[in-house]
Amino acid sequence: MTDVTQQGDVSIQIENNIATIEFFHPLSNSLPGRVLGKLADKISEAGVNNEVAVIILKSAGDRAFCGGASFDELIAIQDLNEGKVFFSGFANVINAMRKCPKFIIGRVQGKAVGGGVGLASSVDYCFATKFASVKLSELAVGIGPFVVGPAVERKAGLSGMSAMAINATQFFDAEWAREKGIYTDVFGSVEDMDEAILTLATKLSKSNPDAMKELKNIFWSGTENWDELLVKRAAISGTLVLSEFTKNAINRFKAK
């Protein structure tokens, strides 16, 4: 029997009204569909748990925050339906964070690629280290950041999102991401970042939950159509991934 931890997993711990949701995958914390589904579920469950006042979203390890979607699943897509399901994985997580009535604090300890940038852009307040550079790599394999694009654009603006989408092989450093609004604070070490996260989470755990819920509704105003929008975006990617151009691009990437 295959150890589930080798396929990636999601855990949640609740202490002092703070829920810490942690995802993990041995391949640079890339996220296959099963893990994305579990992540969306854990976020939704924490959102309706009366013992939870605030959520911290993090990944395991001390290197990559998130390497994006599972490349193995990407190259295995055979038809449009499979493509839509695959690309809806990050859409479901983004929408779960959007609709969660609790503030979500992001902890980005290392590089964020593709869907990982979408996660960092979808939390309500994001801490990062100086090692947490960002890259939207989708165009480099013949697709595009269609699903995560709205979340990234909401934080970084159209110019910031398009810069990453067009220059798909370049990592943009953490300070650039802070200037664009993806990160709120950038720290020189994980220890300093974690201390700041705990300080903020503790303050929020004692704040008025109704006030925080109303504020979150205001912060996400204008995104009410994302349930439909992100599904449509997933269909675009699902169509492109079946093209000969994209298949060739993926094969070239595999050969590196």
Rounded to whole angstroms, how far apart are CA atoms 66 and 10?
13
Does the pLDDT value for residue 192 go beyond 90? yes
Residue the block writes with tokens 């490349």: 71
- CA-wise closest residue to 143 among 93, 81, 69, 39: 69
* Mean pLDDT, rounded, for 169-185: 98
Check residue 71 and give its pLDDT: 83
Does any domain span residue 171? yes
Q: Is the pTM of this model over 0.85?
A: yes
Does any domain span residue 215? no
Does the pLDDT value for residue 97 go beyond 80? yes
Angle between helices 80-99 and 33-47 (to 10 degrees): 20
**8 in Cβ contact with 26 (< 8 Å):** yes
Q: In this predicted structure, which of 94-98, 151-155, 172-176, 242-246 has the lowest mean pLDDT?
A: 242-246
Does any domain span residue 40? yes
Rounded to whole angstroms, how far apart are CA atoms 57 and 21?
5
Rounded to whole angstroms, how far apart are CA atoms 6 and 26?
6
Does any domain span residue 218? no
Q: Is the dihedral of CA 22, 196, 160, 100 positive or negative?
A: positive
Above pLDDT 70, what percent of the chain? 96
H/E element holding 204?
helix 190-205
- CA-wise closest residue to 40 among 125, 120, 100, 116: 100
pLDDT in tens, 17-63: 999 999 999 999 999 999 999 999 999 999 999 999 999 999 999 99
Check residue 3 and give its pLDDT: 47
User: Any residues with CB less than 8 A from the CB of 184 and at least 6 apart, and which?
Assistant: 125, 126, 127, 178
Rounded to whole angstroms, how far apart are CA atoms 200 and 185?
12
Mean pLDDT, the chain, whole residue set? 94
pLDDT tier, 185 (very low <50, low <70, confident <90, very high otherwise)? very high
pLDDT in tens, 4-18: 446 899 999 999 999
Rounded to whole angstroms, how far apart are CA atoms 135 and 204?
30
**β-sheet bridge partners, residue 224:** none
Secondary structure (3-state) at 10:
strand
Check residue 256 and give its pLDDT: 67
Does any domain span residue 255? no
**160 in Cβ contact with 134 (< 8 Å):** no
Domain around 134: 4-209
Does any domain span residue 45? yes
Q: Residue 157 — left, alpha, or beta (φ > 0 → left; ψ -120 to 50 → alpha)?
A: left
Check residue 94 and give its pLDDT: 98
Count of the separate structural domains present in the chain = 1
Does any domain span residue 143? yes
Does any domain span residue 233? no
Q: What is the CATH number of the domain that holds 171?
A: 3.90.226.10
- CA-wise closest residue to 196 among 124, 125, 134, 98: 125
pLDDT in tens, 111-163: 999 999 999 999 999 999 999 999 999 999 999 999 999 999 999 999 999 99
